[in-house]
Every structure is written in structure tokens, then in C-alpha cells.
A and B are shown apart, each in its own frame.
Chain A
Amino acid sequence: MSQQPAVVIKGLQKRYGDVQAVKDVSLQIEPGEIFGLLGPNGAGKTTTIRCLCTLTLPDAGSLDVMGVSVVDDPRQVRQRLGYIAQEVALDKVLTGRELLDLQAAIYHLPGKLAKARIDQMIELLELTDWADKKTGTYSGGLKKRLDLAAGLLHQPDVLVLDEPTVGLDIESRSAVWRFLRQLQAAGTTILITSHYLEEVDALASRVAIIDQGQVISSGTPANLKAKVGGERITLRIREFTPLTEAQQASEMLQGLPVVQEVIVNSAQGNSLNLVVDSESDALMTVQTALKEAGLPTFGIAQSQPSLDDVYLAATGRTIMDAEVAAASKRDMKKEMKQQNMKR
């Protein structure tokens, strides 16, 4: 097999009205890898994917799938891509098998081959008991599995999944993860977007973090974490610590040489998040310091930096904060509109 990259995106830009959804996104995805696209809601993930899947024309930039330009030859790209949308769109009155029949026909699989492949996918995704029931009766996990079966029916070279596990329970989610790993092992390139950090961490071999329409950081998860450096300690003095006490402790701990940074997390009952040197025995030092200051310890835990920390370091805020900010921005706009209407 040639070693041309599976997907190349260069300088992608897309604007909807006065909103610049994607400012400048460049990515390269190698064949056979799982690539994670990470970012808060409204960062431009879905727009990037829509451009890639030929659903939207980009304003500027180039996109290639297996060496074929998305803009110049969309039909060939469509044949090579599988797209699993964020929201599962099934026809409620069709049965699972009828949906797959339709899917096979719009990808022009010849009859015999289509039948064999449909049976294969039904078995593979454990849909045998449900294949001849209407999709309107399916549960969320079943729908997602049928959607996966449909997206994979034509055996795409590149599978694109937009938020594949939103709204699924833990069991269905891990089933989807297992399946995606198998798929990768069989040689399919997978592009996955998510705002679940753990999902990307668990699956992806490489990650790009995207925020406000720009790629702000990319690399392997381990690489990105190493770049941030330090270890994390989460400390709870009491189950719900009073703010003054938390701030006192924060000031005291800031004085320790091993501690690089202390953040009081008010969303978690004023727990303290510390960044400490990874070499030294920081956990012991912190505990001793607390004891000397006469403060109790409700819980203390040490961890490696997570992708959330990477995100925090890259953007200066957590994904949660970014989502809250995006939501309040929308509310502001709405309010302004309403005020304008009143006038």
C-alpha cells in the first residue's frame, strides 16, 4: 500500500453569515490511525467534518481524502468515506434490514454482494434479533449500532464519526469503542470528534485540539501531556470546604517549593487543584504541610496530567468553562436581538 496520507486538510476556512465557524484548520491523518478532533461545542469540529464529507463547500483551503480532492471529485470521495452523523437519523417506519438495503442501493452494491454484506454487518453489530423490527422501536444504543452498520456497509477507507457516543450509556459506549478498535485493527482510518476527553484519550493515536475555529495544539495524547508537564494533586480539606479556609490553605501551599500552581475549584466544593514537580515526593510534602498547619484531609489524590490539563494549558480554560462561555455568548446575542426588536 502506498503511504499517502488518508486525509489532508490545508487552511480550511468556512463562514456562516457573520460567524466564522472555521478560521484556519490544517490536519493530516495517516492511513490506519484513529485521529481525535477535540474541542468544546461550537469550536468548529462539526463544520470541519461537514466540509470533509462534501456536505458543505469550504470558503477556502483544500481537503483531500486518499489523494482525491473533496471539492473537485466529491463523488469519488463519498464512495471512500463513511460518515456517522452526530444525531442518528433513521426512518422510523423502516426495519433495520430495509434501511441497510436502501443504504446498499445508494452505494450501488450489486444485489448478491449487498445481501452478504448486510448479513455480515448485522451479525457483527449483534443486531440479529432486531434487524426485522422497525427502527422506531430501537433503543439509543441499538440505533447507534444500526447507524454504524449503515455507515460501514460499503467498507469505507476512512470512517468519520461526529460525537459517536453522545447520549449513550456506559455499556453501549464501551461497545462502540471496542468496535472502533477492531475496525482500526482491520485497517480502516478513523476520524472521531468528541468533547469527551477520556474518549479521545482511550481511542485516538493522535489528537488535534481545536478552539474557536483554529487548531491550537496537536500530537499524540502522551506527547501533549508530557508537554504540559508536572503532576496533578487534587486535595479536599473537607467534603465542602469553606472558601476562606480553602484560600488560606492555597496560600500556605503556594509557599512550598515543590508546588508550581494552586487553583481553588469552586465547582467541586472548593477543592484544591495543585500542579507539582513530577520528580519530587510532592504528595508527602503536601500532606506534612497540611498536618503542620492543623488542617484535616478529606481526600487527596495524585495523577498524571490528563488531556483536560492539556486543553487548559492550551486555551487557558477547561472545556467546561469554554462551553459555559459559548452558551452565555449565545444568550447575550438572544437578549440583544430581543432588545432590538422591542425598539
Chain B
Amino acid sequence: MSSSTIQNTQLQQWKDDAIASPGFSEFLQETLALTKRLFIQLQRRPSTLAAGIVQPLMWLILFGALFQNVPQGLFGDSVNYGQFIGAGIIVFTAFGGALNAGLPVMFDREFGFLNRLLVAPLVSRFSIVIASALFIAAMSLVQTAAIVILSEIGRAHV
């Protein structure tokens, strides 16, 4: 190993230019990279996704079965109990997801990974928050879709 392989002359040139002014594209770059990390984590731990879908379905099935024989017209004439609780569970799930969105940052802080992000020249540290928000919004959309589809299937079979 010679000393010339440690230094990268192209990189050195780039660096001298880059330090001056960061722009929106840099902000996008860091945000996307942080979001990508969360999705890789999800991909490597698919049980998180499975649990995220199974849990609202359990509410749906359990409560659906429990209140099957609720008197007609309790929630107005146009809405049956399935529709009523379906919407409720979607809100409930999205809210729960939002509450848990900060958890990865907490763990990063606990294990020192956050320091790695904080010593980096991020254009704005909001990118850490936005990455979490993007991830959890996507996750909630998947959950919502699963709830909608499965409650439709459930209704068709009843």
C-alpha cells in the first residue's frame, strides 16, 4: 500500500469545491439515504412488517366477530359495523405508527449511531426526521391497504 492509494485526488478536488455551498440536491441525497436505511432494516426484518399488518387485522376480526350482532341502525342507516370499525382501525394504526416513528432515532442515540449522523455535514438535521416520517408514512399506507382489502374480502364472505 503506498500513500497515494489512501488519498484520492479526484475526491480532494471535489471536496475543495463542495465545502462552499450545499443545495437542495444534497438535502435530497441525505434524506433518501437515511430513508433507504430504514427500508433495508425492514427488508431484513420482515417480521416487523408482518406484525404491523397482523395486529390491526386482529382488531378487525376480533371486534368484527364480537359486535356482529349489533342492532341494525346503530351507526346510521348507510353504515354497517364493519365499515365503522374499519375506518377506526385505520386511524388507530396510523396514529400508533406515528407514535413509534421516533423509536429508530432513540435506538440510534442509545447505540451511538446518531453521533455518526451528527458529526456528518448534513445540510439540515431535519433530514433525519423527514426520513423517519417518509418511512412511517409508507408503512402506514401498506397497513391501510391491507386493512381495506381484507375487510372487503371479509364482508364478501359473510
Distance in Å from the Cβ of A48 to the closest Cβ of chain B? 15
Q: 1/0 per position for B86-119, CB-CB distance to A under 8 A?
A: 0000000000000000000000000111011111
- The answer to whether A105 and B1 touch (CB under 8 A), given A83-B119, A94-B37, A110-B14, is no
How far, in angstroms, from A75 to B41 measured CA to CA in the complex? 28
B115 contacts A89, C-beta separation under 8 Å: yes
A155 contacts B115, C-beta separation under 8 Å: no
B1 contacts A124, C-beta separation under 8 Å: yes
A107 contacts B121, C-beta separation under 8 Å: yes
* B4-12, B49-57, B64-72 - interface stretch: B4-12
How far, in angstroms, from A175 to B1 measured CA to CA in the complex? 13
B30 contacts A108, C-beta separation under 8 Å: yes
Distance in Å from the Cβ of B29 to the closest Cβ of chain A? 5
B contact residues around A83 at 8 Å (CB): 115, 119
A124 contacts B119, C-beta separation under 8 Å: no
Query: On chain A, which size bracket covers the interface?
Result: 35 or more
Distance in Å from the Cβ of A100 to the closest Cβ of chain B? 11
* B18-26, B134-142, B147-155 - interface stretch: B18-26
How far, in angstroms, from A107 to B127 measured CA to CA in the complex? 13
Any A CB within 8 A of the CB of B33: yes
How far, in angstroms, from A93 to B40 measured CA to CA in the complex? 8
How far, in angstroms, from A266 to B12 measured CA to CA in the complex? 55
B3 contacts A76, C-beta separation under 8 Å: no
B3 contacts A185, C-beta separation under 8 Å: yes
Distance in Å from the Cβ of B135 to the closest Cβ of chain A? 14
Q: Which residue of B lies closest to A104 (CB)?
A: B33
Any A CB within 8 A of the CB of B44: yes
A155 contacts B3, C-beta separation under 8 Å: no
How far, in angstroms, from A299 to B75 measured CA to CA in the complex? 94
Q: Which residues of A contact B (CB under 8 A)?
A: 53-55, 75-76, 78-81, 83, 85, 87, 89-91, 93-94, 98, 101-103, 105-110, 113, 116-117, 120, 124, 134, 150, 152, 154-155, 182-183, 185-188
Any A CB within 8 A of the CB of B157: no
B121 contacts A75, C-beta separation under 8 Å: yes
The prevalent SS among residues of B at the interface is helix
- The answer to whether A55 and B112 touch (CB under 8 A), given A106-B30, A117-B11, is no
How far, in angstroms, from A78 to B11 measured CA to CA in the complex? 16
Q: Which residue of B lies closest to A110 (CB)?
A: B14
**For the complex of A and B, 10 pairs with smallest distance between CB atoms:** A105-B33, A89-B112, A186-B3, A78-B121, A106-B120, A79-B121, A93-B44, A186-B6, A89-B113, A108-B26
Q: Which residues of B contact A (CB under 8 A)?
A: 1, 3-8, 10-12, 14-15, 18-19, 22, 26, 29-30, 32-34, 36-37, 40-41, 44-45, 111-113, 115-123
Partner of A106, one of B7, B18, B34: B34
Q: Which residue of B lies closest to A83 (CB)?
A: B119
Distance in Å from the Cβ of B30 to the closest Cβ of chain A? 5
How far, in angstroms, from A183 to B2 measured CA to CA in the complex? 10
Q: Which residue of B lies closest to A112 (CB)?
A: B10
Q: List 5 A-B contacts (CB under 8 A).
A: A109-B14, A110-B14, A113-B14, A116-B8, A120-B5
Distance in Å from the Cβ of B60 to the closest Cβ of chain A? 30
Q: Which residue of A lies closest to B128 (CB)?
A: A106
A124 contacts B44, C-beta separation under 8 Å: no
Q: Which residue of A lies closest to B114 (CB)?
A: A89
B118 contacts A155, C-beta separation under 8 Å: no
B contact residues around A105 at 8 Å (CB): 29-30, 32-33
- The answer to whether A78 and B3 touch (CB under 8 A), given A93-B40, A102-B33, is no
Distance in Å from the Cβ of A260 to the closest Cβ of chain B? 45
- The answer to whether A124 and B6 touch (CB under 8 A), given A91-B113, A102-B33, A108-B26, is yes
